[in-house]
Amino acid sequence: MMKKNTKEDNFLDYIPVRNPKYDWDEDAEGMVTVYVENRGFFNRAAQMLLHKPRVSQIHLEQMGSYIWSLIDGKRTVFEIGKLVGEHFGEAAEPLYPRLSEYFRMLRNCSFVELQKTLDN
């Protein structure tokens, strides 16, 4: 009989790291735009036939841009959450459920990778 792992990973202990595959920039107001190159046969066909752009621009909103600027490959999701809470106050609530979902979305889009801390 296999022993069940009783220790579950805590999502807040992960360290988000930006995917270097995606270029991004920040404007004077601190708003972040992530650039996604549209590759592959169907994207090429859409570019030629439907005049779709070769590079899509993903514009992050105010809180998303602030969070993106805090991703440094050292801070955990929990530490980023503390800074978001200090900066946005009540507007960030419910803070950690929202933040966890936001990082799941960034991970699912391959914009970030979530790495375990050394103590996990």
Position 1 in a domain? no
Q: How many domains does the chain have?
A: 1
Q: Residue 117's pLDDT is what?
A: 77
Position 32 in a domain? yes
Confidence (pTM)? 0.80
Position 120 in a domain? no
Domain of 80?
Answer: 11-115
In the numeric block, which tokens belong to residue 43? 């994207």
3-state DSSP of 63-116: HHHHHHHHCCCCCCHHHHHHHHHHHHHHHHCCHHHHHHHHHHHHHHCCCEEEEC
Q: Residue 41's pLDDT is what?
A: 65
Mean of all residue pLDDT scores within the chain = 86
Position 2 in a domain? no
Residue 13 carries which DSSP code?
G
Position 78 in a domain? yes
Position 68 in a domain? yes
Position 31 in a domain? yes
Question: Tell me: the pLDDT tens digits for 25-74?
Answer: 999 999 999 998 877 766 566 666 766 776 888 999 999 999 999 999 99
Which of 61, 42, 63, 43 lies closest to 53, judged by CA? Answer: 43
Q: Residue 3's pLDDT is what?
A: 45
| CATH code, 90 | 3.90.930
